[in-house]
Structure 1
């Protein structure tokens, strides 16, 4: 066990793939505030709303395990064309922080003087086969145990029933749910991992602190589902964070997350249309 721990520590040691650190206190404060502000307009805001949501659920007269959390809902179910516009606008607005994160990495205290922001965090097509294989492997590693943990959390009453897809029965529901899954994957993995890991390492945080903090925030913005969603996503964050720390590539994480959400969203809608609920 000790030898294995030393091996893991060596894998997370200094590397020529680390971002350029910032030495001055002013620069460190600049990057620290930058991360706070970007989180404030993206996943950090989601974490705040999620905490309020779980408080609201816990203060109802209905047990948490008997409540339902609805996701991907129709905005105007009686007007499908307008509903489609709402859904596409929501997905587009959701991924704006991804573009902002890449812009900041490319223009403010750059982590590398020679490599572009997207390529530095591994959001590119230089290793498509390897990224796909890694993404599929991570999806299998996380998905099946995650589904079992979800049912366990529901059974013991610490999680709500998650209704993952609630769009009206229209031809574009599956494509929109797929786009929503990809949007989720991009914002969570690019911002939560690629961007934050880079900035926090530039500030001087150790890998365990970086991975742990990111995983904790990831779990927090899933609290609206219940404590099972929180715990499951903390574990997912630890796994994906460790993989990124080793590979310095965010693309396998995006592939993994997109696959998990596509199966959850489109699969749920498919089963729901046939009268099957889980």
Structure 2
């Protein structure tokens, strides 16, 4: 019988494998004064390859620990896709309201991110892989695996991880990520369905690039 829970140590290992490099890079950007970011085709495909490798390593670790990795398949359905569209729209609304509430003029409030050098192929590839990668490991593994420690821990710790590797976007960018992340997390907690959050994340990644 495969398990669906994680210890804090196991959750820490998964976090380190999947998000450690991205957290480190985000804090380096913060230390450098939040430089503007530019996405390119080469960068997108490199990120896709890196996430596939890190994801495979994390799945191997989880399998070795007896975790039910079979339940991590997002399982697309028409009803789930409709729900995902609704989750995406709600993310946009909640993030916009949150940014308006926390808006305070100042330097590096939100990093300027350019997608001018991105082709449709790399945009779609990144949106599909990154959206799946983040939600599978944040929601399907961490939120699900930490439920035994209570809902506040299961929601709060993965949301903190999500915020940490997005600090390169600046304070207002972090507010936006936290708001949208909370919406996707609560949709997963409420429904137990991973696909709506995955689709919502794909769309949120794709829209700025196209």
Name the TM tier (shorter chain).
0.7 to 0.9
Q: Give the superposition deviation at 1:102.
A: 3.9
Rate the CA distance shift 1:198–1:107 in 2: closer, same or farther, 3 A. farther
Give aligned pairs, total. 207
What does 1:227-238 align with in structure 2 at a 5 Å threshold? 227-238=171-182
Q: Give the superposition deviation at 1:174.
A: 1.0
Q: Deviations over 1:196-235 (max 9, x none)?
A: 123223xx31011110111121112111010111122222
Q: Deviations over 1:24-81 (max 9, x none)?
A: xxxx6xx433322222232233123212321321xxxxxxxxx75213135xxxxxxx
Alignment partner of 1:130 is 2:79: yes
Q: Which structure: greater helix fraction? A: 2
Q: Secondary structure at 2:124's aligned position in 1?
A: helix
RMSD: 2.7
For the 8 Å contact 2:83–2:196, the answer to whether it is kept is yes
The 2-side partners of 1:197 and 1:149 are apart by 23
The 1-side partners of 2:13 and 2:4 are apart by 21
Q: 1:13 is matched with which residue?
A: none
Alignment partner of 1:33 is 2:9: yes
For the 8 Å contact 1:70–1:166, the answer to whether it is kept is no
Query: TM-score w.r.t. structure 1 length?
Result: 0.65
The 2-side partners of 1:151 and 1:242 are apart by 22
Q: Deviations over 1:168-187 (max 9, x none)?
A: 6xxxx111111111222112
Rate the CA distance shift 1:47–1:20 in 2: closer, same or farther, 3 A. closer
Q: Any gaps of 5 or more consecutive residues in structure 1?
A: 1-18, 22-27, 58-66, 75-82, 112-116, 267-278
- Structure with bigger RCO (C-alpha 8 Å, 6+ apart): 2
Q: Secondary structure at 1:95's aligned position in 2?
A: helix
Alignment partner of 1:194 is 2:140: yes
For the 8 Å contact 1:121–1:249, the answer to whether it is kept is no
Q: 2:66 is matched with which residue?
A: 109
Q: Secondary structure at 2:40's aligned position in 1?
A: coil
Query: TM-score w.r.t. structure 2 length?
Result: 0.83
Q: Give the superposition deviation at 1:149.
A: 5.2
Q: Any gaps of 5 or more consecutive residues in structure 2?
A: none
For the 8 Å contact 2:146–2:153, the answer to whether it is kept is no
The 1-side partners of 2:90 and 2:39 are apart by 25
Q: Give the superposition deviation at 1:91.
A: 1.1
What does 1:160-175 align with in structure 2 at a 5 Å threshold? 160-167=110-117, 173-175=119-121
Q: Deviations over 1:149-198 (max 9, x none)?
A: 55786762352342241426xxxx11111111122211210111111123
Q: 2:50 is matched with which residue?
A: 93
Q: Give the superposition deviation at 1:121.
A: 4.0
